[in-house]
Structure 1
Amino acid sequence: MKAIVCQSFGDPRQVAKVEELPMPGAPAHNEVTIDVAYATVSHATELLIRGTYQSDPPLPFSPGTEVYGRIVACGADVVGLKPGDRVVAMRRWGGYAQRINCRATTVYRVPEALSWQQALPLPLSYGTAYSALVWKAQITPQDQIVVLGAGSGVGLAAVEIASTLGAQVIAVASSEEKRQLARAHGAHLALSSADENLVQKIKTETEGGASIIFDPVGAQLMEQVFKSTAQGAQILSIGFAAGRPPKLPQNIMLVKNLTLHGFFYGQYIGWTPTDQSVRYETQMRGMMRALQQLAIDGRIRPEIVKTYEIDALCAALDDLNERRVTGKIAITINGDLE
């Protein structure tokens, strides 16, 4: 079978190669075997390849964390899944291969009412946004939320989910195209991340400050937007797409009674040193059913905006880094398995 393999960490152009590998063996007792049709690409993909992510896979390894495909075999003790099912699945790595074995705890059946393009972005981007906003921040319709990086996969998902749940959403994005997309997906207002008056505009729109900041960007942008928080606001730290964590003044956090939530979605899906996915499986499956129903009802609109061939991973990463794409992208592994 074909797979993208990294024999070492480094520049994706140098180390990520399409190779022929043997098929995986039979699934273990709590695993399923999946023929992978498509897999998503994100900024974290490049971090993993370069060896600068939170944890490193053993070498050699195949990247790829979020896949769509069909089950071809099930191990013992697997319940609720069967060969032939269309599924989406999450792994720490290993998804860029034509056939994979995956723990059943993070494999989710796709309803017939959803296309693969709708189903594939749900587990990671929408799952991260939903769990952070609902489980951690306990968002309400009274909240006024600022979403940074609103043109990214997880940022746009946060815009949609917060809007669907009744909150007022201010999207912050780098280009007019991304801001238009955020407005089309439910943002009440979309502002430029380069706007010199960004903080004042947020304060004016929210009549005093945002109650939630959703931050997958970090660095200077978060340091700036931090000044727009209301008394008692919550900050959701999701990631650092800009390259570094923000430096937030603790004295301001104290006098404004701010709450900073560090949020690592990986805790719920087995991406920690001790795999806790079994502990959270029921909670995760409930969330996935909710997200799938929101998509079926048209209340959220997940989509894959562009696909690339398996040998074009570096082009996909270049498009992400140069901000030439807005939303979620994927590479073709086996292609259409319908």
Structure 2
Amino acid sequence: MFAVYAAEPSPQDPIAALRVGDRPEPEVPTGWVRVGVRAASLNMHDLWTLRGVGIKADKFPMILGCDGAGVLDDGTEVVLHSVIGDPAWTGDETLDPGRTLLTEKHQGTFADHVVVPARNALPKPADLSFAEAACMGTAWLTAYRMLFVKSGLRPGQTMLVQGASGGVATALVQLGRAAGFRVWVTGRTEEKRALAVELGAHAAFESGARLPERVDAVFETVGKATWSHSMKALKPGGIAVISGATSGDATAAELQRLFFLQLRVVGSTMGTREELGDLLAFCALNGLRPRIGQELPLERAEEGLRAMLDGDTAGKIVFTR
């Protein structure tokens, strides 16, 4: 079958590890299902896989792609949940020490077919296209959990999203606006800030700019480049919710500010199957659609990966079959 995959780890030049070509058709274990992939979205995780981060060397070659939407063998249209845990685990699967994502242990979605546990294939809402549905499993689910499970915000309060144009950031803007929060964003360019306002942000500021007032919560996926600004932006008692650090780890924890202002710092990773179901329902109720910045045939996956590597994103990058 046709697939886009990482041939080996390439820490310094991730694109050098990228291959496009034939891979064996997947076997379908008991309790799993085969999905004919119609669309798959790109995540930063795919670049980490190409670099060899979070994956053992013996797992290469690895088909890329955490997220996807497609069709079961019986014709059912589905959205994929990419967190695969121990079947014996009960409770929040994101806390399962044995959990994994597609592309870490199991082959991913950038292919004609992918196999997942049956519970990881959720019904696709009829009003979402395959491309839109393919954005939900990682970026939008991550944003949903950050906002509604971890932050504790109430409608009417103010949230700041650092780095306005990525997949998680654009999802936070749209979800936050729909839920009744005052949404502020930062962005490195005028174009990125304009996109955030178009998606529903009430105000957009240059990266690191002094804000008109402090905020109730900051949502972080950037890390080192924005961490100090995030700490300075919070009200006393405010919360920073973190789901990534694309610019690297913060060089200083700002501990004096943290304890003196009684700030809270909370980590958030992906989300549960139940939260994905709630997210899909929330989007249907509010008419929300993910912002797709670039839609390409899977054969042109290298273009999308280079755009992400260069930071040239304006919403999600989606590959279609």
Of residues 23, 26, 32 in structure 2, which corresponds to 1:21? 23
- The Cα offsets for residues 121-151 of structure 1, whole Å up to 9 and x where unpaired, read as 1221111111111111122114211101121
Shift of 1:291: 2.5
2:242 matched residue in structure 1:
237
Q: Distance in 1 between matches of 2:311 and 2:14?
A: 18
Whole-angstrom distance in 1 between the partners of 2:227 and 2:301: 29
The partner residue of 2:78 within 87, 92, 117 is 87
Q: Is the partner of 1:8 in helix, strand or coil?
A: coil
Cα pair 1:220 1:246 within 8 Å, conserved? no
The answer on whether the counterparts of 2:32 and 2:115 sit within 8 Å (CA) in structure 1 is yes
Alpha-carbon displacement from aligned partner over 1:197-250 (angstroms, at most 9, x marks no partner): x13xx2x2x3xx111010000113221232121000001111011233452211
Q: 1:245 to 1:35 in 2, by over 3 A?
A: farther
Which residue number in structure 2 is paired with residue 251 of structure 1?
Answer: 256
Residue 316 (structure 2) pairs with residue 325 (structure 1): no
Residues of 1 paired with 2:220 and 2:131: CA distance? 25
2:47 alignment partner in structure 1: 46
CA distance in 2 between partners of 1:131 and 1:144 (Å): 17
Give SS of 1:159's match.
helix
Give runs of aligned pairs for residues 1-338 of structure 1, distance below 5 A: 1-10=1-10, 11-25=13-27, 27-52=28-53, 54-56=54-56, 58-72=59-73, 83-89=74-80, 90=82, 91-93=101-103, 94-193=108-207, 198-199=209-210, 202=211, 204=212, 206=213, 209-245=214-250, 247-265=252-270, 268=271, 280=272, 284-285=273-274, 287-332=275-320, 335=321
Could you say which residue in structure 2 is the equivalent of 1:275?
none
TM-score (norm 1): 0.81
Work out the CA distance in 2 between the residues paired with 1:22 and 1:253.
Answer: 52
Structure 1: gaps of 5 or more residues: 73-82, 269-279
Kindly provide the amino acid, as one letter, of the partner of residue 320 in structure 1: M
Shift in Å at residue 42 of structure 1? 2.1
Match in the other structure for 1:75: none
- What's the CA shift string for 1:65-92, capped at 9, x where partnerless? 00111111xxxxxxxxxx2111121252
Q: Quote the Cα distance in structure 2 between the aligned partners of 1:123 and 1:322.
A: 23
Mapped contact 1:33–1:71 kept (Cα < 8 A): yes
Measured in 2, the distance between the counterparts of 1:145 and 1:246 equals 24
Stretch moving more, 116-125 or 306-315: 306-315
The amino acid across from 1:24 in the alignment is P
Q: Is the 8 A contact 1:223 1:246 kept in 2?
A: no
Distance 1:135 1:157 in 2: 15
| 1:150-199 deviation digits (Å, cap 9, x = unpaired) | 21110010111112111111111122222112112221101111x5xx13
CA contact (8 A) 2:3 2:112 kept: yes
Distance 1:220 1:32, change over 3 A: same
Q: Which moved more, 1:172-181 or 1:226-235?
A: 172-181
Q: Identity rate of aligned residues, in percent?
A: 23
Residue 29 of structure 1 deviates from its aligned partner by 2.7
Secondary structure of the residue aligned to 1:66 is coil
Q: Offset of 1:20 from its aligned partner? A: 1.5
Q: Distance in 2 between matches of 1:3 and 1:16?
A: 11
Cα pair 1:295 1:302 within 8 Å, conserved: no
Secondary structure of the 1:235 match is strand
The letter for the 2-side match of 1:295 is C
Could you tell me the TM-score, scaled by structure 2's length? 0.85
Q: Which residue matches 2:85?
A: none
Of 86-95 and 127-136, deviating more is 86-95
Measured at CA, do residues 130 and 13 of structure 1 come closer, stay the same or move farther in structure 2, by a change above 3 Å?
Answer: closer
Q: Map Cα deviations across residues 6-54 of structure 1 (whole Å, 9 max, x no partner).
A: 23101333221123122222x22321100112211122211111113x4
Name the SS for the 1:9 alignment partner. Answer: coil
Unaligned runs of 5+ in 2: 83-100
* Alignment CA distance shift 1:221-1:315 (3 Å): same
